Amino acid sequence: MKRPSDISREHPWNSVFENWEHEQIASNIMKILKRTGDTFRELSFGEYKDERVKDGADAEAVNREQGYFERVLKYTVSADAAARFSPSWR
């Protein structure tokens, strides 16, 4: 069974959104999941923001990521969902 640590090694190129910003936010989520237990689960935006700020991101900049976060979240809750998001994550 794949874990976030298996998937987070690859950037999710050619995602269903075909948009770098969506791909980057999904990648951020996978890295956070890897670091916080290495299990798939639904991440809250609050936890995402806290973890991004710990990584050195500006809190206001992270707030601008929320729309992307909400659109990609459903693709980060399981290995099967991640595989549907990007061929790189299969």
Residue ranges in the chain modelled with pLDDT below 70: none
Question: pTM of the predicted model, to two decimals?
Answer: 0.96
68-88 pLDDT tens trace: 999 999 999 999 999 999 999
Instruction: Find out whether 73 and 42 touch, Cβ atoms under 8 Å.
Output: yes
The pLDDT, as a whole number, for residue 76 is 97
Q: Which of 65, 85, 67 is nearest to 76 (CA)?
A: 85
